[in-house]
Structure formats: C-alpha cells, structure tokens
Amino acid sequence: MAELMNCPNCGALFVKTNIRDVCEKCFKEEEVAFETVYKFIRKKENRTATIFETSEGTGVAEELIIKFIRTGKLKLAQFPNLGYPCQTCHTIIREGILCDDCSNKFRSELSAFQKEEERKKELKERNKGTYFADKNF
C-alpha cells in the first residue's frame, strides 16, 4: 500500500511503497552506493572484507551497507565476513534480527511470562464464585 511520507534522508515528499522507502533522488544515490559496494566486494582481495572494511574502502556508510544486506540486495553467501549487528547486543549476525543468544533469552523470558499468566488465570478461575460474607467462619 502506497503512503505519502517525507524522505528520511533529505526530507522531500514522496510516495512510499513496498519497494522504496526513500525519495527518487535518494534512491538513485543508494543505487550508486550499492554499485560501489558491490564492485568493491566482488574483487578477489576484498571478498573477505567486513562491513567496517567495506565502508572504509568505499566511503559508503555502514548503515546503508546493512540496509543492502537486510533487503537482500547483497547476498551474504558469497561474502563470508559480511554481517550486520544483532538489534539487541550488536553481535555480528548473518540472518534475522537477533543473534541466537538474544533469541533464546527472549524465548525463555516469554515462556516464563506465559507460565505466570497461566498460573494467574488458574488462580482466578479457582477463586471464581467463592464469596464469603463473614470472615469469621
């Protein structure tokens, strides 16, 4: 679904779609940056470059390189040292948004929360309909 927005890069008004999240001008700049990054990492001597090294070698911001990876423009299978940071602990990962440790931590916390909610619901159900008019029975 198209949506009218201001470009997060330059502030220009544009129609956001599933394909583009920036205005036409910034999209073209991103395409040029992508070509620069891609040419850099395709060279044999740069295939094992990290995001930091790629950013340093091309002048393209790390955040933009991460965007290329997350959107699937850059395929990590061909570049063994490229990755992006976990959104919680910033460990370098190659898929998803969380590393295994953070994912497991969140699963365990969610499981504990769900068990607590179930316990509260059971207590509420057990106490349902039990009313005492006099506390001195």
| Structure confidence by residue, pLDDT tens digits, 27-58 | 999 999 999 999 999 999 998 899 999 999 99
Residue with tokens 């940056």: 33
Q: Where are the domains of the chain?
A: 3-85
Which tokens is 131 given? 């009313």
- Give the pLDDT of residue 17: 85
Binned at pLDDT 50, 70 and 90, residue 132 comes out as low
Confidence of residue 131 (pLDDT cuts 50, 70, 90): low
23's CB contacts (< 8 A; 6+ apart) are 7, 9, 10, 12, 13, 14
The conformation of residue 9, written as its DSSP 8-state character, comes to T
SS3 assignment, position 10 = coil
Find the angle CA(97)-CA(54)-CA(93) to the nearest 5 degrees: 20
pTM flag (> 0.85): no
